[in-house]
Amino acid sequence: MPEEILAPLAGKIIQLNLEIGKAVEEDEEILVIEAMKMETPVFAPLSGTVKEVMVDEGDEVEEDQLLAVIDE
């Protein structure tokens, strides 16, 4: 079951640890969004394989924007 990763807040992607086809572990830090001088890490909600990545480092994103998809 694919899981969509949405941006929890608006900000700039300053770190992206996702690569299509690579495995991720539940609760692993998959990207970091910077906003209001603070860095908010986003963690993998499940273990699986990265199916899609819609953003790059440096991108500005909106809250709830689709960032990536992880396949279980």
Partner 1 sequence: MRPYFEKMAPLGHALKPGQLKQTANNQAVFETAEAEIKADVERVRQAGFSTEKINARGQMTVWQRLDYLVDPDTWCPLHTLYNPAANDEGTTNVIDGLARISDRWAVVIGFDNKVMAGAWLAGQSENILRVTDLAKRLNLPLIWLVNCSGAKLPEQEKFYANRRGAGAPFFRHAELAQAGIPVLAGIYGTNPAGGGYQGISPTVLFAHKNGNIAVGGAGIVSGMAPKGHFDLEMAEGLIKKAKAFKTKPPGSVKTHYDETGFFRYVFEEEKDVLDGLKAYMADLPAYHPRFFRVAEPCDPAFPVEDIYRLLPMAPKRVYAFEEVLARLVDGGEHMEFRPGYGPEVYTGLCKIDGFPVACIGNRQGYLGKGYPEYADYPGFGGKLYRQGLIKMNEFVTLCGRDRMPIVWFQDTTGIDVGDAAEKAELLGLGQSLIYSIQQTDVPMMLVVLRKGTAAAHYVMGGPTANRHNAFTLGTAASEIYVMHGETAAVATYARRLVKEKDAGRALDEVVDRMNALADDYHDKSRPLFCAHNGLVDEIVAIRDLRRYLEAFAGSAYQNPTSICPQHQMILPRIVRG
- Residue ranges in contact with partner 1 by CB under 8 A: 8-10, 25-29, 34-41, 43-44, 47, 63
In one-letter notation, the amino acid at residue 60 is E
49/59 Cα distance (integer angstroms): 22
Residue 48 CB, shortest distance to partner 1, in Å, is: 12
Residue 53 CB, shortest distance to partner 1, in Å, is: 18
Question: 1 or 38, CB closer to partner 1?
Answer: 38
The torsion angles phi and psi of 13, rounded to 5 degrees, stand at -75, 115
Question: 9 or 54, CB closer to partner 1?
Answer: 9
Residue 64 CB, shortest distance to partner 1, in Å, is: 9
17/2 Cα distance (integer angstroms): 18
